[in-house]
Amino acid sequence: AGSTSGTQYAVGASYTFPNKTWNSSSTYKMYATWTAKCNKITLNLNTGTGDTTVLYKKTGDVNYYSDPNCSTPETSIEIPKKDGSVFQGYKNASGASCISSAGQFPTSSNPCPVTSDTEWTAQYATCAWTAGANSTISAATTNDKNQCSYTVTCSTGYSQAGGVTRTHSFTATGTTATA
C-alpha cells in the first residue's frame, strides 16, 4: 500500500536523492499516485427532448456526476420526452442498458463501464393503439408519467361504459392493442 503523504512531484519532474553517492544502507521509497480520469458521457436524446444531455463518470467508479471534475454526484436523470413514445432507458454502443426507464443508474452492478468519453442513446417504445370497430382514436401523446395517452371516441350510437369519449393512459410495452 502506498502513501499519499510527503512531497508530491508533477508528472515528468526530476528528483535528486539527497546523497550524491548511492549508499546501499539508505532506503528511499517513492510511491506513484494517480487520479482516475473523469470521462464524459453524451446522452443522445434520439429525437426526443430533455435537460440531461451530459453525465460524467470516473474510470473504475460506480458513481455518476453532473460536472466535468466528477465532484457533484447524481443518482438519476430527468426522463427525456418524445411525443407518441415512452422512454425505455439509455443503451451504450454494445446494447447494454445503462440507465433505466425511470432515469435511475444501476446500483448493484456496472453494466456500462466507462474508460473514455462515450455516447449512450435513448431508447423509446412507440405508442401503438388501434381503433376497434365503431370508434376513433386521437394521435398519441406522452404524459408526465412517461405513459401514452389517447382519446377514444365512439361512433354515433355507441358508447363506452359511462360515456361517449374516454381518455386512456397506459405504459407502452411495444405491442399493439385494440380499443
Look at residues 124, 96, 122 and name the one whose alpha carbon lies nearest to residue 110.
96
Nearest to 113 by CA among 125, 123, 98: 98
**pLDDT band (50, 70, 90) for residue 28:** low
pLDDT value of position 2: 47
Chain length of the chain: 179
Between the CA of residue 125 and those of 40, 82, 99, 145, what are the distances in Å? 27, 10, 15, 14
8 A C-beta contact, residue 112 and residue 61: no
Task: Check pLDDT > 60 for residue 154.
Answer: yes
The per-residue pLDDT for 11 is 77
Say yes or no to pLDDT of 172 above 50.
no
Rounded to an integer, what distance in angstroms lies between the CA atom of residue 140 and that of residue 36? Answer: 45
Which residue did the predictor score with more confidence, 136 or 120? 120
